[in-house]
Chain A
Amino acid sequence: MKEFKYTEKKDTRSGFGAGLLELGRTNENVVALCADLTGSLKMDAFEKEFPERFFQVGIAEANMMGLAAGMTIGGKIPFTGTFANFSTGRVYDQIRQSIAYSGKNVKICASHAGLTLGEDGATHQILEDVGMMKMLPHMTVINPCDFNQTKAATIAIAEHEGPVYLRFGRPAVPNFTPADQKFEIGKAVMLNEGTDVTILATGHLVWKAIEAGHKLAEKGINAEVINIHTIKPLDDEAILKSAGKTKCVVTAEEHQLNGGLGDAVAQLLGRNLPTPLEMVAVNDSFGESGTPDQLMEKYGLSTENIVAAAERVIRRK
């Protein structure tokens, strides 16, 4: 198993903030909207440097989505910022009609996704957002794994014509991907080539998948670890190629089992290459208050859960 080194832990939301600031400097059409969470979304640097292109919307997310759709008419590229819960469930119909069905070039940027939001509890810990967004025709869904990748993804989606859901989070996590990476939407990133089991992970679970790969290596299991930062469109070719080689697959994500990455991979494999599959995800449950680490353990999203899932799926070959 390859070694991945990191010098510091950083939050992915700060990667978004850094990417947005860079976009402000390089693309005059980029505008940003925020629903009273500028500090939490790390949009303050953009606001300070480009006040005329920053729109404080207040606690009115439905209006924010409509405004963003309208701002595209005339060539602006709006980036909306609020928590993942208020970026999706609260405004599903606005996104569906005014953005997705209308084919508007809006970038819905969602922080504090999943259990790692922590102590605020289940009202804010959305675990259904990827499912809702990937069901919408025309929508691209991206869940990068660390600061550098979130920054690169933020910059990349400005060049992509069409609506995008970009999901990231609150806690500091190992920042291990290259600072100068080129982010390719829909292109899986091979982290470690292996032969015994394929581990497909997204978002915060990517680092845990790497850790799981090391633990499996200690047990003599050679895991292939792939970062699926784009859940829609899924990199069918990379996944089928890997599954064809290892003959068993584990998915890992900070999301409900229903509607998430595992769901998408199950569809792909079921239709093209039936392969034993185990899913590390939240199983039809809401979260609760606690520290991120406690919650990830309690709800079955730990490194050990990935190791156990890999061992289970290997036995099913």
Chain B
Amino acid sequence: MNPHNKSIDELKEIAAQVRRDIVRMVHAVNSGHPGGSLGCTDYFVSLYFRLMNYKAQPFDMNGEGEDLFFLSNGHISPVWYSVLARAGFFEVSELATFRKINSRLQGHPATEEGLPGIRVASGSLGQGLSVAVGAAQTKKLNKDSNLVYVLMGDGELGEGQVWEAAMYAAHNKVDNLIATVDRNYQQIDGGTEEVLSLGDLRAKFEAFGWHVLEADGNNFELLLPALEDAKKATGNGKPVMVLMNTEMGFGVDFMMGSHKWHGVAPNDEQLEIALQQLAVREASDY
């Protein structure tokens, strides 16, 4: 059972507020990764406000009896922190400490400072799928029928460990796992197909033995049914992969369609323009 279970209209409003948080957080410290955060906002909001079964308070590291989420591409921490705060894991006001000294909101997600909602550190890429597969196997040993979700970036698929984990998950029929690739075709140095082409990801994951679905990651009307389909595909002997097409920077026009806003913060003027574009009925900025 999702603790919020919001309607699509409400999800849209939450997503706009989360996007406001993202641009304000990275602006405040003139660092961080707005592009991928904005692109994946609708996915995070769908999981935490509609799809996942979890308890925000008190946060339980072991997560028994709950769905678990892991973020492998940890650099999009702003979107996760905002969604965790807005979903009730910690006070929204704490978003103001992002990337600052003595904060629980580290540049990349970490457990060291005890931020509720985070179960493993990530940032050095390629490790999250392995961790999620391990957690999913523990759920099976514990006879816990809840699911494990993990998000990866597409550029991250250059890491060999991802494919080790992909091979292992299929071989061991880890079918209580829904992995998602943020397919925005961008990485730091340019387009994914220019830097190191990923080619036909559906064919690749299918060849590795996965059940593969595709989704539009920036449209709730399409994303929610796709993620529901992914849930229905679990329990059938195969790990489930959602190739989620997103637009980096989605919601802020000058950040869209380019890798340039991967890890760059907006200046004062750009922030104002972004916030105008991210209008909400009733802003509740931290």
Contact = CB atoms under 8 A, between A and B. Distances in A.
Contact of B112 (A52, A63, A73, A101): A101
**Chain B interface category by residue count:** 35 or more
A32 to B, nearest CB: 12
Contacts of B168: 57-58, 60, 63, 67
A67 B111 contact: no
Nearest to B150: A70
Give me the 6 closest cross-chain CB pairs, A-B, nearest first. Answer: A66-B130, A70-B134, A74-B138, A63-B164, A67-B134, A60-B164
A90 to B, nearest CB: 11
A52 B172 CA distance: 12
Contact of A67 (B68, B110, B130): B130
B119 interface: yes
Contacts of A52: 141
A103 B112 contact: yes
Contacts of B161: 60, 62-63, 66, 94
Given A58-B164, A73-B63, A74-B135, 16 more contacts: A55-B137, A58-B168, A62-B164, A63-B168, A64-B130, A66-B130, A67-B168, A68-B134, A72-B134, A73-B134, A94-B127, A96-B124, A97-B123, A97-B124, A102-B119, A103-B112
A70 B120 contact: yes
B225 interface: no
Interface string B155-189: 00000110011011001100000000000000000
A169 B132 CA distance: 32
B135 A70 contact: yes
Interface of B: 61-64, 68, 70, 110-112, 119-124, 126-139, 141-142, 144, 160-161, 164-165, 167-168, 171-172
A101 B129 CA distance: 17
A98 B127 contact: yes
A57, A75, A93, A98, most chain B CB atoms within 10 A: A98
Contact of B130 (A70, A72, A76): A70
Given A60-B167, A74-B63, A102-B111, A31 B130 contact: no
A266 to B, nearest CB: 29
B111 A31 contact: no
B130 A65 contact: yes
A64 B131 CA distance: 9
Given A63-B130, A94-B127, A73 B119 contact: yes
A72 B141 CA distance: 12
8 contacts: A58-B168, A62-B127, A73-B138, A74-B63, A74-B142, A75-B142, A102-B119, A102-B120
Which of A58, A63, A93, A104 has most chain B Cβ within 10 Å?
A: A63
A279 to B, nearest CB: 33
A71 B135 contact: yes
Contacts of B164: 58, 60, 62-63
B120 A71 contact: no
B59 to A, nearest CB: 12
A312 to B, nearest CB: 44
A69 B124 contact: no
Residue with the greatest number of chain A CB neighbours at <10 A, chosen from B63, B137, B142 = B137
B134 A97 contact: no
B139 A74 contact: yes
Contacts of A53: 141
A22 B95 CA distance: 48
Nearest to A64: B130
A116 B161 CA distance: 30
A74 B112 contact: no
B223 to A, nearest CB: 26
